[in-house]
Amino acid sequence: MNGLIAVGGGLLILGFPIYLVLGITAAALLWASGTPMIAVTQKIVDELNSQTLIAVPFFVVAATFMERGGVAKALIDAALTWVGHIRGGLGIVCVLACTIFAAMCGSSVATALAMGTILVPAMLREGYDRPFASGVVGSSGTLGILIPPSLAMVVYGVLADQSIPRLFLAGVVPGLIQALLIVAVIVFIAKRRGYRKAARTDRRDMLAVNLRALPALSIPVIVLGGIYGGVATVTEAAALSAAAAIAVSLVFYRTIGVLDILPLTALAARNAATIVIIIVTALIFGHWVTESGATAAIVRFAEEQNLSPVAFLVFVNLLMFVLGMFLEVFSVLLIALPILLPLLPAFGIDPIQFGVIVTINMELALLTPPVGLNLFVLASITKAPLAEVISGIWPFVVAIAALLVAVMAVPALSLWLPDLVLG
């Protein structure tokens, strides 16, 4: 374990990319333990031979085309016709649109970017404070990794060897609760600050705008209907979502053309390759952690401290919150999970519930400085100093933290729906 800390910590301090930190650390420790390097290479090939892992690039392609292809604007326009006339309505529109967009793309950063580009300028024109507008978009964007399908849950499912459809379902109820909590914060602040209401949309315009949004709304139906209708696996549904996103963008919204397909696909492939490389090196790292007996040593230490399951979860939440302040989401998942997952049976913690707890922690990581990616997305959109963006985030961080405590204390919030649907 001392060698692990020395090698990995030294590389992180030197600023190495996370995949190199995990890969070099695992290779060095396996070599030191007498494992031939050819065995490491074979392990990499074995880990890449995963049908579930293929879902990652497809979901990234879908998110890229939906972000650039007019899907976000169609959803926002439709949501405006329903709640735009309520005080703080543009903020509520953001929550509704992000909830639906999240059910298509599985990425928090893509959700925040797609919605923020359109909604932040609109909120500023309506007299909303810039920090508040940033907080609304940043917190709503985190729904992208809690509402299914979720890239973070796909990664968790691969690492934990858990059912991804069950994980997706486990995120639904907490995701809807989070959306309601964010709406409650928006309404409270909007009333205190006296933000004005927008005009109510007449019925004819409302019908036209909502009909225009139907192609966008078909994408989550295709993805989730395919998975839970037994028609498609998660990987097949991911491929369907990518194809549907491209078709909807080209045929219905026409904000991109045929010539844009190749460059956008290349961009998505580059982003997906980064994620897959990190996952593979993390799996090798996890293999060393298990084989070295480090996990067993940690379990013995925890048992000697007489930690209860609740105390263990509190410790894990604090650990992941601190890691999330300094590392991006996938880095935290891939560093912490190989060590934490083998400990769950000793504490009687359901790995599905734990997956939701970890995902909510990653939502907080996206909103907390100094490395919260959603903060940087919003700072680039609003042209505001990072400190100003952070000042608008905190009320929503408190709401998400309250959700984390509720999911930790009441397992049924995450386990009821998957048990009901899948048994």
- Asked if the structure places residue 413 within a domain, the reply is yes
Distance in angstroms (rounded) separating the CA atoms of residues 39 and 60:
31
Provide mean pLDDT across the span 226-252.
90
- pLDDT interval class at 249 (50, 70, 90): very high
Is 269 inside a domain boundary?
yes
Are 65 and 245 a contacting pair, CB within 8 Å?
A: yes
Query: For residue range 1-15, what is the model confidence (pLDDT) as tens digits?
Result: 555 566 666 776 776
Q: Is residue 11 part of a domain?
A: no
Tally the domains of the chain. 1
Query: For residue 292, what are the domain limits?
Result: 26-422
Contact 57, 35 (CB under 8 A): no
Give pTM, 2 decimals: 0.85
207-224 pLDDT tens trace: 999 999 999 998 888 888
So what's the pLDDT on residue 401?
96
In a domain, 8, yes or no: no
Q: How confident is the model at residue 179 (pLDDT cuts 50, 70, 90)?
A: very high
Instruction: Say whether pLDDT at 90 is over 70.
Output: yes
pLDDT tens readout for residues 19-59 = 677 777 777 777 777 777 777 677 777 767 777 778 888 98
Contact predicate 148/224, CB 8 Å? yes
Q: What is the C-alpha to C-alpha distance for residues 147 and 176, in angstroms, rounded to an integer? A: 8
Q: Which backbone phi and psi does 230 adopt, to 5 degrees?
A: 75, 10
Name all contacts of 322-327 with Cβ < 8 Å and 24+ positions apart.
Answer: 323/365, 324/361, 324/362, 324/364, 324/365, 324/366, 324/368, 324/371, 324/372, 325/365, 325/368, 325/369, 325/370, 325/371, 325/372, 326/370, 326/371, 327/18, 327/365, 327/371
- Asked if 375 and 364 count as a contact pair (C-beta separation under 8 A), the reply is no
Q: Is the pLDDT of residue 297 over 90?
A: no
Q: Quick check: is 323 in a domain?
A: yes
Residue 251 pLDDT > 60, yes or no? yes
Q: What is the 3-state secondary structure (H, E, C) of 267-313?
A: HHHHHHHHHHHHHHHHHHHHHHHHHHCHHHHHHHHHHHCCCCHHHHH
Name, in order, each residue with C-beta under 8 angstroms of 402's C-beta and a sequence gap of 6 or more: 181
45 part of a folded domain: yes
Average pLDDT of the chain to the nearest whole number: 86
Q: Which pLDDT does position 295 carry in this prediction?
A: 59
Q: Write down the pLDDT at residue 7.
A: 65
What distance in Å separates the CA atoms of residue 77 and residue 208, rounded to the nearest whole number?
Answer: 10
Q: Is residue 46 part of a domain?
A: yes
State what percent of residues in the chain have pLDDT above 90.
42
Distance CA 411, CA 423 (A): 16
Asked, for residue 1, whether it belongs to a domain, the answer is: no
